[in-house]
A and B are shown apart, each in its own frame.
Chain A
Amino acid sequence: MTATFIGVRHHSPACARLVADTIIALRPAYVLVEGPADMNPRIGELLLGHDLPIAVYTGYRDAERRHGSWAPLCDYSPEWTALTAGRDAGAQLRFIDLPAWHPALAEVRNRYADAEARYAEVTERLCAAFAVDNADALWDHLFEIEPADGLAERLAAYFDLVRGDARPAADDVAREAYMAHWIRAAVADAGDRPVVVVTGGFHRPALVRLAEEGDRSWPELPEPPGGAVVGSYLVPYSFRRLDAFDGYQSGMPSPAYYQHLWESGPREAARRLTEAVTTRLRARRQQVSTADLIAAGATAEGLAAVRGHVCPARADVLDGLASALVSEALETPLPWATGGRIRPGGHPVIVEMVAALSGDRVGRLHPSTPLPPLVHAVADRLRAMGLDGSGEIRLDLRKDADLERSRLLHRLRVLAIPGVVRDSGPHPAGDPVPAEQWTLTDSDDRMPALIEAGGYGVDPGEAAAALLAERVSGPPADLDVLAGLLFDAALCGVGELTGRVLDDLARAVRAAADLGSLGRTLNVVLAMWRHDGLFHTGGGPAFGTLIAAAVDRALWLAEGVRGGPAPADPRRIEAMAAVRDALTHAATPLGLDVAAALGVADRVAAFSDAPPDLRGAAFGLGWSLRGTAAADPGRAVRGTFTPALAGDWLAGLFALAREEVLHTPGMLELLDELVEAMTDDDFLIALPALRQAFAYFPPRERHLIAARLVALRAGGASGPDLMRLDATPELVAAGMTLDERVDTVLRREGLITS
């Protein structure tokens, strides 16, 4: 008896049904499933009776490589129905693919992604021939919505076509050779009883061919290299995470919809999808009228008829809802038409629709499942580092032992384990302090949180890395969030992740529109690059590229700000200061273009349409970088000294070049002269901004300025003497008003001229 090969699309309800029906009909001796062969001794664990979705997680770590990957299973996974139906039929169950740590799967994070997505040319042609938008719609059209008769033949034809002449990558070849070895052995062992093989459809044509000839003994399980740490275990999973893989790693989208399809058929699934979208929108107080729903239903039915579906498929329902509910122009194309991640700027109705498709079902493991290793690992580490129990902990980050402890605590904090709170320590916006203060409280909530976090990895470092990686690849975040993630990654000591965050950050930096948040990011990155001893980021070239990109972008944005007089924006000034810091500290090692930066600074400083604080800052930038001012600073100060602008301009200047201002002879005298020349009214107008400007001097330097002014104006008297006044402020104010009135009268009568 030969084997029956069923090529499936992972997470396809139609394939799951076909697999179950075939196994029930054939009652095979062996059911062979594409899955990690190292889980074979523990297949019993999978069948304990969990609430799906769950996943087999495999973590691998050696000197060079760290890798974590998932094999997610849900109710409608063909692999899952193969296991359950096979068990009920009394068949021997075997996973036949290479273990997840094997180098052939080094690029794979989701074992059950679509292998054919990497060989897209044929699917593109098929989509054009069937006039559908993308491969997902094509799949629904061909398999999910169609009645089940002839499904096996259609699937085989489809996958033969997709595989076609595609030359598979070496990784796929290795996996197929290994799987074929298992199949030959099982067929030989089963004698005249049938064998059912359930694998990804892309592999099927090759397996059918390879299973013909070759070694018929049972294959060896590959051994991980010495010194490597490998662990595979079951973790709870969720629909949201199932839907969150992107690019080549994504499998079938919209788990909630296919769950309904699996449970109650396409018509009911369409109904529930509409219901879920409506409920979500109404909960958000969006108007969804009965007339809209009728229109949506009619459109969906109509679309199904045009596209030749017996009842509305996923895209039909969504198209119908979008037609009826969105009554304005969209900013971005419909996500189910283009495929891929939802892009920023999506219409709120569309965003809710995608969320409803994804669903919020969360899996739960059976209580007798072995605990994820993370739970033990965390307990061991905490005990070893003396962090178990409650209390306050103070850490000195310059000591290696304390740094290790800090990293462990940060990893737990990132994993949202209760009872780990940091009171103070290095902060992205502030100066790096090498000390941390933590408060630990032991609580019963820790265990469930750890079990849940167990889905992310075997040890805290790996889990924190996976969680941060997920956040990075989540919905597009703004710069502040990404900078925060980068900082978290550094605090957790997650080296390889910083690389990914840096890539995303570089992308976001190049597209940044807000000078303020760009400046903050530049500050974080620059601090991490400069204080490598504290963060141990490795200071790699990626940091350098990022700093260069941020400086470039900040200058580009600064040059684009216009609109004339506006109050000083401290964030904008900070950004310019960050640019100066980067150019001062990193220009030579990173090869930043100082000449170009000076060019921008001079242009902005001279550009009358730019806001005064930015012009001042640009002037200061040039001054501080060159050491001497490009133009005569005296003239520049005089040129901007109108009551409404002076303070804002000076704020920018002082923030970037206060040293230069202090140490240039005549500057202070000039400022004094200009302030002196203001009328009282003008002075009152200028005062708040001037105050803000002088706040950029630290108290010591303010004292210095005051002392010099006093020396200038009051001869020998000391500062404190001048501050002392015996009269009450009201009396002084009244006296000054009187003086002013007398002056006005005298001027009016022509008795004085100035």
Chain B
Amino acid sequence: MSMRPTDEAGRLSRRELLRQAANGFALLPFADLAGRQQNGGALVRHHAPRARSVIFLYMDGAPSCHDLFDYKPRLVAEDGQKFGMTMEPTQFNSRGNTLGPCAKFRQHGESGQWISDLLPHMARCADKMTFVRSMHADFSEHTNANYFLHTGHGLQGRPSMGAWVGYGLGTEAEDLPAFCVLNGGLVPPGGVDNFHSGFLPAHSQGSLFAMRGAPVANINPRESDQRQRRKLQLARSLDELSILREGSDPALDAAIQNQELAFRMQTAVPELLEIEGESAATREMYGLNSDYDKTRIYGRQCLLARRLVERGVRFVELTCADTGSDRWDQHGGLKEKLPKNCKMVDQPIAALLYDLEARGLLDETIVLFGGEFGRTPFAQGNNGRDHNPFGFTMWMAGGGFRPGVSHGATDEYGYKAVEDPMSVHDLHATILWQLGIDHERFTYRFGGRDLRLTDVYGRVVRELLA
């Protein structure tokens, strides 16, 4: 990269910019943009980070931990009997008998973690995972709980954790946003506000990548590259004249630079999505040849997540594909629907962990798996589970988390977190910590308050950290 005249803030001078623009729009080196203006990101670094990126495998609808991770012999023994604890009000207020797990549990790996037979591939990764078996949330409706898990607040309008991370750390990718959401097809209740920047600057909001059609809104040019370039060059040359006459302004310079980034993204995004270059073994590993089309979709998302992290994107979130099971929200039909969801994500996620590890990326990437709350250990109807915010399981891998351990516990029915309960705020605080951010010092002034992702709560759960 050649040296160019810049002002004291590191920006290219306007004259230099216009000179380049006049010489050829597409020739402008975008690598420069990174060093040009530093006022956009907060550039937070409170201590040495342990991780560089986050991949959030978001299980929309709330998976049933009783059937996947949280093994409770008593639940097996008392299946179909009257539930042995006081039952709290639930969303549907249909509170039936104890419902045992719909699959067999076994211990896996050297660590002996309990995982059910519904997740055979993930089970092979048991020694890479850090289980938190004592999560709890503040809400038992999807939308509130989704906002809460994403933004630390149960109502619409706050920034998503990906936006906070992107805002605080920026991205190392030169032509991709800091916070990318790979949308498998389902938009969770609460809508895209789950990925929004709220009161943070709009550039920190999650950019949605669709898995079908155009991956990013308006990313596909509607004419040839040459024709578009010629047209935009004309626009630049007219800009030059009007700016010379009416005067320059940083906002105008920024808009011009922005247009060039957009032009560059038109190439970068399709390149990112071009996964045909991946080896046959990799594609097979991720489940891209699976007989189940939802596994193929989710496998592609997992593979893209790795590619995004490789390119320096800071926060990647994956939403699920539609298995026709109403997300992971099995109020009924649990035994039939849950295996479909498991099949969708099991192989791709295991592949992601292996692949990240093989490429030396797992150490610096936090992989986070979970939903917005748990489900009841007692039945709704005879084959469903209602919402349960009092106790559920999430797991992390990589990114400086202690592999192969379990933290906390629910009671003997798996109903409520009783041992080392961990709140959603604690989760946020801990993830930020691994990224080098002290959640209590990471604030943004809005509406008269210095607001945080963790509100006024949260504790870094150091027991989880290597």
Are both chains from one complex? no
- List the interface of chain B (C-beta within 8 A of A): none
